[in-house]
A = this chain, B = another copy of it.
Amino acid sequence: MVPREDWNSVPYNMDWNDVPGMPWWRMSKRAHRSARRADALSKARIVEAAIEILDARGEAALTFRALATHLATGSGAIYWHIADRNGLLGAATGDVLARALAKVAKEKEPRVAIRAIALAAFDAIDAHPWAGAHLSREPWHAAVGEIFERIGEWLQPLGVPVHAQFDCASALTNYILGVAGQNAANARTLPRGTDRKAWLKGIASGWIQDDPESRPFLRRVAAQLSEHDDRQQFVAGVDFILAGACVKRNACSAMRSR
């Protein structure tokens, strides 16, 4: 049996097989490693566990203690593979969005293609609201660049004038991130199984009741507010931006006043 001092003096890149007197359960580092590889700690495994916790119990439940328990390790071990909590959320967000964007079917029609990309982002964020929250907290995330590129590529074939393409791609990205943040907020405060319609009705009446005579527009659309479909409304917004970027200007009667 080698005393501890000797173990510590073993260079980390040296195979422990070469250390005389090493106990069997420390022998053959590589063999040992590969045997345990399935459940060894790694960034991928940590991110996977984080996603499980985030999806099951929400962003607030992702603590290093909970994660360490879930992985049957110490909280400090996680820091060996990940910089900090924010990095972990970023990696989880990247995973979830990359997976969603990779699944988008190849399209030929520009508008259909853009819709498909936007909806892939929407659906991913709808399924993983914490990812939406992270993206709006960190809009320079690689996933945002991916969305920006994937949408931007289609603007030329769509017929958006060259000078408007950058602004158009930015507007779409901002819009998508805005919806992402909203979805995340809704999911955070509206636990599963809540009556969505009643909840929306409450918000609408809260917005109206301040001054009982005014707010005519909100009054007029209150019914739509509590009954609309988020996904459908999301697409409507995407279409507005695309149509507006194509149009020459002065589409509205009142917009002629340039």
A: which residues have CB within 8 A of B?
A: 109-112, 133, 136-140, 142, 144-146, 148-149, 152-153, 155, 157-160, 164-171, 174-182, 185-186, 203, 206-208, 210, 215-218, 221, 224-225, 228, 233, 236-237, 239-247, 249, 251-255, 257
Contact residues in B for A255 (Cβ distance below 8 Å): 110-111, 158-159, 242-243, 246
* Docked-complex contact A252 and B181, CB < 8 angstroms: no
* Docked-complex contact B174 and A179, CB < 8 angstroms: yes
Consensus secondary structure, chain A interface: helix
User: What's the least CB distance linking A34 to chain B, in Å?
Assistant: 30
Contact residues in B for A224 (Cβ distance below 8 Å): 166
* Docked-complex contact A206 and B254, CB < 8 angstroms: no
Q: Complex formed: what's the CA distance from A144 to B249 in Å? A: 28
Name which residue of chain B comes closest to A223, CB basis. Answer: B166
Name which residue of chain B comes closest to A203, CB basis. Answer: B140
Q: Complex formed: what's the CA distance from A136 to B125 in Å? A: 15
Q: Do A216 and B153 contact each other (CB < 8 Å), given the known contacts A174-B179, A247-B244, A257-B109?
A: yes
Name which residue of chain B comes closest to A160, CB basis. Answer: B252
Q: Complex formed: what's the CA distance from A218 to B166 in Å? A: 9
Of the candidates B174, B176, B252, the one whose C-beta lies within 8 Å of that of A242 is B252
Q: Complex formed: what's the CA distance from A192 to B176 in Å? A: 27
Q: Complex formed: what's the CA distance from A149 to B214 in Å? A: 10
Q: Complex formed: what's the CA distance from A255 to B175 in Å? A: 20
In the complex, 17 of the A-B residue pairs with CB atoms within 8 angstroms, ordered by the A residue number, are A136-B185, A139-B185, A140-B206, A142-B206, A145-B207, A152-B221, A157-B254, A158-B252, A158-B254, A164-B236, A166-B221, A167-B237, A169-B221, A171-B175, A174-B178, A178-B181, A240-B240
